[in-house]
Structure 1
Amino acid sequence: MFPLGNRTLDTQALRWHVETGLAPLLAATPARLSLSLRSLDGSVVLERDAARVQPSASIIKLPILLALLEQVACGHCRLDQQLALDAGGARVGGTGILHQLLSVASLSLAELARLMIVLSDNVATNALIGLLGCAEVTQWCRRAGLAGSCLQRRMMDAAAREAGLDNFTSAGDAASALGWMLREGSLPAELRAFALSLLADQRERAHFGAALPAQTHLANKTGQLPGLRHDAGILTVGDYSAVLVVLADGFTDLRTADSLDGGDGAELLARIARVVAEGLQAQAQAQE
């Protein structure tokens, strides 16, 4: 089970540590960066342009997961319920593996959710969008207080994107989504634990997960597009945890601009997460 810290953060000390570590990183990058750093109870430690709405990339898969689990909690569907993959449309490519496994005709909702988060599988995601509907996911965002987030298209739908339909979020909204998941009463304990287990099993570790101190635990969801790097997650060191979201675009290096991994964008997010983890580590060491 993913460990959540049970000690209250010294928010002033953590804010000072992160601001000090961020200053040279931000001075050295042309990117536009939105950041939200919060305690587990949702209290803001540090924010920078956190309300700026921008294309979500695969970060939108976090609200899809939570909207699904709310439906499960309300009894409208079950995690062991089978869903035909045709419900999500064509076997689109991009991230994931199901577009290569043509003999797989259906999976349970739990399996689809796992593939959507752990491997960022677009076929699994589209199947769940087909089940829930874009409007329901957007309505969940409103119920959860995510004012700038919306789901308007399926994954890899270039025609919809060209028509002006895209998926959007902000750093503050992504942090609020994680806060909703963690808040007692939003979901039954077993569904909250299920969601955390998926995020903790995230296989994309080139961003927040790339340079963390060895004793750091991470549960997160990344999102990448050419020129854009996002990550949203929970960091735990010892008995201290924090929610960190960074959405960044405007990178000018060719690797970040032309690909979905690596480059200055991935490095920047890795260094920011390390700064936050070291701030948590300092508090854990002070406790010893």
Structure 2
Amino acid sequence: MFPLGSQPLDHNALRQHVDTALAPLLAATPARVSLSLRDLDGGIVLARHADRLQPSASIIKVPILLALLDAAAAGRYSLEQPLALPASGDRAGGTGILAHLPSVATLSLAELARLMIVLSDNVATNALIELLGFDAVNQWSLRAGLTASRLQRRMMDAAAREAGRDNFTSAGDATAAFCWMLRDGALPAPLRAFALDVLADQRERAHFGAALPAPARLASKAGQLPGLRHDAGILTVDNRSVVLAVLADGFTDWQTAQTLQGGEGAALLGQIARVVALGLKAQALAH
């Protein structure tokens, strides 16, 4: 089970540590960097351009996951119920594995949710979007306080993007989604544990997870497009936890600008997460 820290944060000390360490990193990058750092109750520790609207890439899959679990908590779905997948010729490409497994015709909602987060599977994501509907996900976002987030297209729908129908969010919304999940009464304990479990099992570790000090623990969801690198999640170090989101675009190095993996963008997000983790570790040592 993913550990949530119970020790209180020194907000001022953490803010000063992160501000000081971030200054040279942000000065050295051409990217636009949005950051939101909160405690587990949603209190803002640090915000930098946190309301800036940006294409969400795959971190939009967190609201889809939480909208599904909210609906399951209300009895509209069961995570054990099966859902048929489209024929292989109608499956989205990109990240994930189901596009390459045409013999897999049906999976449970729990299995689809796990694949959507752990492997960022686009076939699983589109199946859940089809089940829930765009309106239901967007209405959940509004109820949860995600004022900038909007799901407007399925994964890998290039025609929709060209027509201006993209998926959007902000760093502030990304942390708000996680804080909603942790709020007392938002989800029954088993569904919250399921969400934390799949987020902690995300296999994309080239962003926040790349340079964390031991014994840091991370439950997050990354997203990447050419020129864009995002990550958002919960970071726990020595019984202290924070919710962190970094959304960054405008990178000019070839690997970040032209590909979906690595580059200076992923490295920057790893450095920022390490800065925050070391700030949490310093608080533990001070007490």
In the TM superposition, residue 87 of structure 1 has moved relative to its aligned partner by 9.3
Residues 176-255 of structure 1: pairs in structure 2 closer than 5 A: 176-255=176-255
Two-structure CA RMSD over aligned residues (Å): 1.1
Aligned residues of 1:63 and 1:177 also touching (Cα < 8 A):
yes
Aligned to 1:111: 111
Aligned to 1:132: 132
Aligned residues of 2:88 and 2:102 also touching (Cα < 8 A):
no
C-alpha distance in structure 2 between counterparts of 1:35 and 1:94, whole Å: 27
Aligned to 1:54: 54
In the TM superposition, residue 89 of structure 1 has moved relative to its aligned partner by 8.8
Aligned residues of 1:119 and 1:204 also touching (Cα < 8 A):
yes
What is the SS of the residue equivalent to 1:234? strand
Which amino acid letter does the alignment assign opposite residue 115 of structure 1?
Answer: L
In the TM superposition, residue 86 of structure 1 has moved relative to its aligned partner by 2.0
C-alpha distance in structure 2 between counterparts of 1:282 and 1:198, whole Å: 28
Query: Which stretch shows the higher mean deviation, 15-24 or 88-97?
Result: 88-97
C-alpha distance in structure 2 between counterparts of 1:88 and 1:239, whole Å: 45
Identity across matched positions, percent: 73
In the TM superposition, residue 214 of structure 1 has moved relative to its aligned partner by 1.6
Aligned to 1:142: 142
Residues 92-111 of structure 1: pairs in structure 2 closer than 5 A: 92-111=92-111
Aligned to 1:75: 75
Aligned to 1:25: 25
Aligned residues of 1:149 and 1:173 also touching (Cα < 8 A):
yes
C-alpha distance in structure 1 between counterparts of 2:36 and 2:123, whole Å: 30
C-alpha distance in structure 2 between counterparts of 1:48 and 1:209, whole Å: 21
CA displacement 1:119-173 (0-9 Å, x = unmatched): 0000000000000011110111101010110100100001111111110000000
Aligned to 2:36: 36
Which amino acid letter does the alignment assign opposite residue 286 of structure 1?
Answer: A
Which amino acid letter does the alignment assign opposite residue 131 of structure 2?
Answer: L
C-alpha distance in structure 2 between counterparts of 1:124 and 1:192, whole Å: 20
C-alpha distance in structure 2 between counterparts of 1:11 and 1:87, whole Å: 51
Aligned to 2:152: 152
Aligned residues of 1:17 and 1:279 also touching (Cα < 8 A):
yes
In the TM superposition, residue 88 of structure 1 has moved relative to its aligned partner by 11
Which amino acid letter does the alignment assign opposite residue 148 of structure 2?
Answer: G
CA displacement 1:64-114 (0-9 Å, x = unmatched): 000000000000000000000129992111000000000000100000000
Which amino acid letter does the alignment assign opposite residue 196 of structure 1?
Answer: L
Which amino acid letter does the alignment assign opposite residue 116 of structure 1?
Answer: M
Does residue 16 (structure 1) correspond to residue 16 (structure 2)? The answer is yes
What is the SS of the residue equivalent to 2:86? helix
C-alpha distance in structure 2 between counterparts of 1:277 and 1:267, whole Å: 15
What is the SS of the residue equivalent to 1:117? helix
C-alpha distance in structure 2 between counterparts of 1:271 and 1:166, whole Å: 28
Give ranges in structure 1 of 5+ residues lacking alignment.
Answer: none
What is the SS of the residue equivalent to 1:86? coil
Change (3 A) 1:102 1:265: same
CA displacement 1:209-241 (0-9 Å, x = unmatched): 000002100000000000000000111011100
Runs of 4+ in structure 1 off by over 3 angstroms are none
Change (3 A) 1:88 1:277: farther
Aligned to 1:167: 167
Change (3 A) 1:79 1:187: same
Give ranges in structure 2 of 5+ residues lacking alignment.
Answer: none
Which amino acid letter does the alignment assign opposite residue 230 of structure 1?
Answer: H
C-alpha distance in structure 2 between counterparts of 1:163 and 1:89, whole Å: 23
Q: How many residues align?
A: 287
C-alpha distance in structure 2 between counterparts of 1:139 and 1:226, whole Å: 29
